[in-house]
Amino acid sequence: MAADLIAVTGLGLVSPAGIGAPANWERVCAGEPTAERDPLLAGNPVDISCRVPDFHPAELLGARRARRFDRFTQLALVAAREAVVDARLDPGAWDGARVAVVFGCTQGGVATLEEQHRVLVDEAPTRVSPHLLPMELSNMVAGALSIELGAGGPSMAVATACASGTSAIGVARDLLALGRCDIAITGGSEAMITPLVMAGFAQMGALSSRTDDPKGASRPFDVDRDGFVAGEGAGVLVLERSSDARARRARTRALVAGFGASADAHHVTAPDPDGRGCERAIRAALADAGAAPDEVDHVNAHGTSTPLNDVTEARVLRRVFGERPLVTSTKGVTGHCLGAAGAVEAVLTVLAIEHGLVPPTANLVQLDPKIEVDVAVEPVPRRIDLALSNSFGFGGQNAVLAVRAA
């Protein structure tokens, strides 16, 4: 059981669906896919991706500041600023020693790493930038945010591949519940759409090869799905204990009611075909929230659009919940934001609860007959008291968040 209720008091979101939570919500509800041909991937067998549109770091952060950070940190800085403002918190006035930063991330500044590797090979080791390490280390997103916000509490990155964002929120929730901090700035960020990483994913057969139809490539749960489309972005939640949020008369947008984590202990990338690991994480999140399966109204699924993930996840959902919760995968619009995905989707889950609206799964034309759950194909108005957000990472690492209406 959760020791104390944890309130979500601020949201920030930068994803392929836009900059800012309201813009994202609009695009996701419109079910409009964001995948496009990606000129930076020219020459790769799969050259489509979902990038954050019109993201100009120098304008958003100032040119001097922007140049010191890799894109994955730039995205997080912009999303965190939105979340802190949304929470009506003033980093100039808070007790920074009690503010934690916990961020999920898979690769860190891999674009910077690749660029500097070229310098090493083409020029000389002595020409490599002294900013390489501070820019590319994956924990730097949390480090940079701590500096930016004057947050001197626990600060760390959490890595569980594509579950990282969700895992980070779970860790932040636990730090608050244990009294290790009073405010947690948490979420995930990722910017790993580089030729090298994308070549690796393509070689695994994980990516959709529908390069002649980018908009139709990410199609979770559809019978014709053939892999995921890589995305990027950052999602941020400001969490506080409910009692603290009430005391400062903050707006509680939702409650983090439970968190569950598990490992498949099966294979480095393939999900356990029976989904026992995923099921353990879901049941752990429910137990943590003190909720029964039939209380869950909505699931923002991991739903990557790979043949294996979607059928395995759906099988688990059917086994645990029957047909009751309305399932969606917002990855049809955003693509798979990898280490940021769980945080992006946690923000969208809070928005779904607030709006009483389940967003659609874009590109779901014909449900795979092996998938026996109720999947939203258009925005569906529904009162949501309890929702889950699922994330499963390579390594068989699973994380599930239970979010309750405030």
Which stretches of the chain bind other proteins, using CB under 8 A? 58, 63-64, 66-67, 126-127, 129-131, 134
Query: Which amino acid makes up residue 63?
Result: A
Q: How far is the CB of 64 from other proteins (least distance, A)?
A: 5
Count, residues in the chain: 406
Q: How far is the CB of 135 from other proteins (least distance, A)?
A: 10
Q: Considering beta carbons, is residue 41 or 140 the nearer one to other proteins?
A: 140
Asked if 216 and 33 count as a contact pair (C-beta separation under 8 A), the reply is yes
Tokens of 75: 């995205």
Q: According to DSSP H, which parts of 109-253 are helical?
A: 110-122, 132-136, 140-149, 164-177, 195-204, 242-247
Q: Tell me what percent of the chain is helix, strand and coil, each rounded to the nearest 5.
A: 40, 20, 40
State yes or no: is 162 an active-site residue: yes
Q: How far is the CB of 33 from other proteins (least distance, A)?
A: 35
Q: Considering beta carbons, is residue 127 or 246 the nearer one to other proteins?
A: 127
Asked if 38 and 193 count as a contact pair (C-beta separation under 8 A), the reply is yes
CA distance 99 to 291: 29
State yes or no: is 336 an active-site residue: yes
| Residue 291 Rama label (left phi>0; alpha psi -120 to 50; beta) | beta
Q: Considering beta carbons, is residue 126 or 212 the nearer one to other proteins?
A: 126
Q: Considering beta carbons, is residue 130 or 381 the nearer one to other proteins?
A: 130
Q: Considering beta carbons, is residue 68 or 266 the nearer one to other proteins?
A: 68
3 state DSSP class of 15: strand
- What single DSSP character describes residue 401? E
Q: How far is the CB of 119 from other proteins (least distance, A)?
A: 10
State yes or no: is 117 an active-site residue: no
Q: How far is the CB of 131 from other proteins (least distance, A)?
A: 6
3 state DSSP class of 36: strand
* Residue tagged active-site, from 105, 162, 181, 337: 162
Tokens of 207: 């990516």
Question: Looking at the annotation, which residues are catalytic?
Answer: 162, 302, 336
